Amino acid sequence: MNHQSVKMKRSLYVPLVLFAGIIVLQFLPFVRADSVQSVPAKPLAGVPEEINAILEKSCFDCHSSQSNLSWYDKIVPLDYFVNGHIAKGRAALDFSKWDSLENPARNNLLYYSLNKILEGEMPLKSYSYIHADNKPTENDIAVLKRYLTERTPRKAFDPELVLDSNENLNSPKAVEKIIVAANANGIEYIPEYKDWKLISFSDRFDNATMRLIYANDIAVKAIEENRVKPWPDGAIFAKAAWKSRSNADGTLSTGEFFQVEFMIKDAQKFKSSLGWGWARWRGKDLKPYGGKAILTTECTNCHKPLKENDYVFTKPFLLKNLN
Ligand code: HEC
Ligand code: HEC
């Protein structure tokens, strides 16, 4: 045997032993990951079959009680990754809980899901690599977009609602002159939010508002130091919203000041409401919104699916992009 072929034999030896090892592993029950339970998920109520089919195909494996695993998902040690993704995915978002959600929360979930697809974050890349057929196609994405636009059509601008728009734009300043009452849960208005860092902007055409999202110093520092899961006590977000007016030429501009909302992190103090204090002031005269119960249940119901991000929608990377 010449030198060359001995070398080749040796180089085959290692992969062969590894391969044999992996085969043996498959038959050892105690090295398997605990397999996840799969219970058939109901179609999402009030959602057309076509839309259901796309979400079921691309998302349900990790985001519902129904996980159709293939034989290759069950190979040790791959099964650890697969089961881990499913457990984490279900914890972050579970379409099987659809029936327990109010309509605004459902709309929100669908929007959020579409955004994750458009951003290329979902389905997870490692999953699409193995399950290429389950990846939403261009056509699936177009169908989802069209459906969401129909589900929550852009509301036409109602001139009755708008006062003089210049005055409205300045209204947060005007507000300082009025005495603002605390929310029913005792949370006081924080006028300084306008000096905080702006971390995001959103336009919700389903309810015709434009929103600016601000973060206080503690929240900004936490983002910079990547200490956001969970957010530290003292972090505060403010979201200020204006009515948006759709002008005749198709442009949008801000109309009347609509409301400002706060989320104040204090894990201990606000233990009963996901670790955050929730408060909202409506209208130019900043009227405290709702009763104590409404402030907790209404706000937390919608934010609850964001458990993975400590209930905050706005993605910290936006801040880094804007810096
Ligand atoms: C292979 C499993 C897997 C598949 C398939 C998958 N996801 Fe996810 N998804 C995850 C995991 C794990 C997380 C949470 C981890 C994270 O935030 O990084 C997540 C997070 C999310 C979140 C954010 C939830 C939150 O609270 O932050 C959304 C929205 C989402 N997925 C939507 C989708 C949609 C829509 C699809 C289908 C197009 C999909 N996912 C397919 C595993 C998956
Ligand atoms: C219908 C669902 C829904 C309800 C109800 C809701 N929110 Fe939100 N909230 C959102 C969404 C979506 C965002 C992300 C920004 C955006 O799109 O406007 C958000 C963002 C926020 C933010 C900015 C930080 C973040 O999470 O991104 C604050 C502060 C906030 N909400 C406070 C409140 C308060 C206070 C209440 C109750 C009075 C409330 N929210 C009720 C959906 C909701």
Alpha-carbon gap, residue 102 to 261, rounded angstroms = 20
Q: Are residues 300 and 216 in the same domain?
A: yes
Residue 318 belongs to domain with CATH number: 3.50.70.20
Q: Does 12 reside within a domain?
A: no
Q: pTM of the entire structure?
A: 0.57
Cα(89) to centroid(ligand 1), Å: 5
Task: Count the alpha carbons within 13 Å of 215 in the hemisphere toward its beta carbon.
Answer: 25
Q: Does 10 reside within a domain?
A: no
In the chain, % of residues over pLDDT 90? 35
Indicate whether 164 pLDDT > 50. no
> Starting from the edge strand earliest in sequence, which strands make up the sheet with 252-265, in order?
197-204, 209-215, 236-246, 252-265, 276-282, 287-288
User: Considering the chain, what is the average pLDDT of its residues?
Assistant: 81
Q: Does 176 reside within a domain?
A: yes
Residue 286 pLDDT level (bands cut at 50, 70, 90):
confident
More confident residue, 143 or 283: 143
Residue 75: predicted pLDDT: 75
What would the pLDDT profile of 132-155 be if each residue is shown by its tens digit?
A: 999 999 999 999 999 988 887 766
Q: Are residues 191 and 300 in the same domain?
A: yes
What would the pLDDT profile of 83-101 be if each residue is shown by its tens digit?
A: 888 889 998 899 999 999 9
- Which residue's C-alpha comes closest to atom 37 of ligand 2? 299
Indicate whether 2 pLDDT > 50. yes
Tokens of 170: 């300045």
Q: Are residues 254 and 174 in the same domain?
A: yes
Indicate whether 221 pLDDT > 50. yes
- Among the bound ligands, name the one nearest to the CA of residue 109: 1
What would the pLDDT profile of 299-322 be if each residue is shown by its tens digit?
A: 998 899 889 889 998 876 544 443
Cα(119) to centroid(ligand 2), Å: 20
Tokens of 227: 């200490």
Closest approach atom of ligand 2 to CA 104: 1
Q: Are residues 126 and 198 in the same domain?
A: no
- Which residue's C-alpha comes closest to atom 19 of ligand 2? 313
Q: Are residues 103 and 205 in the same domain?
A: no
Q: Does 203 reside within a domain?
A: yes
- The boundaries of the domain holding residue 214 are 159-322
> What's the length of the chain?
323
- Residue where one domain finishes, among candidates 132, 151, 170: 151
Q: What is the CA radius of gyration of the chain?
A: 25
Cα(215) to centroid(ligand 2), Å: 13
- Which residue's C-alpha comes closest to atom 35 of ligand 1? 113
- Average pLDDT (215-226) is 91
Alpha-carbon gap, residue 57 to 68, rounded angstroms = 10
Residue reference for tokens 């055409």: 205
What would the pLDDT profile of 240-265 be if each residue is shown by its tens digit?
A: 998 877 766 666 777 788 899 999 99
- Residue where one domain finishes, among candidates 92, 123, 151: 151
Q: Are residues 147 and 170 in the same domain?
A: no
